[in-house]
Structures are given as structure tokens and as C-alpha cells.
């Protein structure tokens, strides 16, 4: 860019691009964090009939209505990476933010 062609308009246009790019980056990062928070650990359609049946009979949900009673606070749950973990009752994967009727506080 030649100093002779440097106008106030060009400086303002280029200056506006920097914060706009930062906002786009922050929005994308925020969506990634929300996706991680809302991870679905169990696809009920892909489970065998027995696994599906036990989850349905215990009214398992991926998001507990009361987070103080979520799987991550349950004695039957063991956390793994990504917000998912394993449940002794289900003998399989459970969402740390989930809940079922067999919930029991960790001791």
C-alpha cells in the first residue's frame, strides 16, 4: 500500500475488519463450547433392545432437570472425557449431565 493512497476511508474500513474478525472467532468458539456442553452421549436408537429397555424403564434423560441430581453426582457413575462416562446400572455409557430414577448421591 502506497502512503499516497492511504485515505481516511481505507483506514476506517481496515480498522473495522479487525474487531469484526474477532467477533466471528468468539462466536465460533462459543458455539463449540455449547456443543460440548450439550453432548449427546447415548443414541438410544443404536442401543440393543435390552440397553434401550433399562434406560426407558428408569426414565433416563440426557439432561437432568436438577443438575445437583445429575449422573456426575451419582454413585453409580464414573466420568470419562468429553462429559460422558459409564454407569454401573446401565453397564454402558451415560451423560454426566443426565439423570435416571436409580440416581444415588455419591458418598
Question: How confident is the model at residue 42, as a pLDDT?
Answer: 78
Question: How confident is the model at residue 82, as a pLDDT?
Answer: 83
Question: How confident is the model at residue 34, as a pLDDT?
Answer: 41
Q: Do the beta carbons of residue 89 and residue 58 sit within 8 Å?
A: yes
Question: How confident is the model at residue 35, as a pLDDT?
Answer: 40
Question: How confident is the model at residue 60, as a pLDDT?
Answer: 93
Q: Which residue has the cell 456426575?
A: 72
List pLDDT tens digits, range 8-53: 777 777 766 666 555 555 555 544 444 445 567 878 888 889 999 9
- pLDDT over threshold 90, residue 54: yes
Averaged pLDDT, 65-72:
95
- Phi and psi at residue 105, to the nearest 5°: -60, 140
Higher pLDDT, 39 or 90: 90
Every domain of the chain and the residues it spans: 3-37, 44-95
- Phi and psi at residue 67, to the nearest 5°: -65, -20
Amino acid at each position: 500500500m502506497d502512503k499516497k493512497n492511504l485515505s481516511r476511508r481505507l483506514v476506517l474500513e481496515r480498522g473495522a475488519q479487525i474487531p469484526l474478525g474477532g467477533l466471528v472467532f468468539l462466536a465460533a468458539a462459543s458455539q463449540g463450547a455449547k456443543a460440548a456442553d450439550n453432548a449427546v452421549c447415548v443414541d438410544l436408537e443404536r442401543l440393543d433392545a435390552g440397553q434401550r429397555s433399562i434406560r426407558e424403564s428408569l426414565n433416563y434423560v440426557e439432561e437432568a432437570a436438577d443438575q445437583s441430581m445429575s449422573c456426575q453426582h451419582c454413585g453409580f457413575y464414573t466420568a470419562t472425557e468429553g462429559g460422558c462416562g459409564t454407569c454401573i446400572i446401565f453397564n454402558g455409557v451415560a451423560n454426566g449431565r443426565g439423570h435416571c430414577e436409580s440416581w444415588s448421591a455419591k458418598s
